[in-house]
Amino acid sequence: GAGVSQSPRYKVAKRGQDVALRCDPISGHVSLFWYQQALGQGPEFLTYFQNEAQLDKSGLPSDRFFAERPEGSVSTLKIQRTQQEDSAVYLCASSIRRTRQETQYFGPGTRLLVL
């Protein structure tokens, strides 16, 4: 079956531009996660949805970052007024149920470069 997909795979933005990153989770997966991965580092948690409800956004680094999942399926991570420090790979993951033992399956990521 289809895995998690993300688009675009690569995005180059000028500093100050707004960007929108899309995530299509595995069909039927209740939980959806966004992570940020800086070069040479492990992924770091940004935010978590259970269906359409954003249950945890404590990892969002600033109010320029905004995520939504209005119909409980596709999610969009938006970054306003991008800064150079926003350059990273943004990974989306989904899991089938709510329980914390459930495995998170990751997409290929969107590599964002802010010039």
Partner 1 sequence: AQKVTQAQTEISVVEKEDVTLDCVYETRDTTYYLFWYKQPPSGELVFLIRRNSFDEQNEISGRYSWNFQKSTSSFNFTITASQVVDSAVYFCALRPKETSGSRLTFGEGTQLTVNP
Please answer whether residues 68 and 75 qualify as being in contact, where contact means their C-beta atoms are separated by less than 8 angstroms. Answer: yes
Q: How far apart are CA 34 and CA 47, in angstroms?
A: 5
Check residue 93 for interaction with partner 1 (CB under 8 A): yes
In the bound state with partner 1, the residue whose beta carbon lies nearer, of 56 and 85, is 56
Q: Which amino acid is at 85?
A: E
User: Residues binding partner 1: what is the number (CB under 8 A)?
Assistant: 27
- Footprint of partner 1 on 16-55 (CB under 8 A): 31, 33, 35, 40-45, 48, 55
Q: How many CA within 13 A on the CB side of residue 51?
A: 1
The residues of the shown chain that bind partner 1, judged by CB under 8 A, are 31, 33, 35, 40-45, 48, 55-56, 58-59, 89, 91, 93, 100-101, 103-109, 111
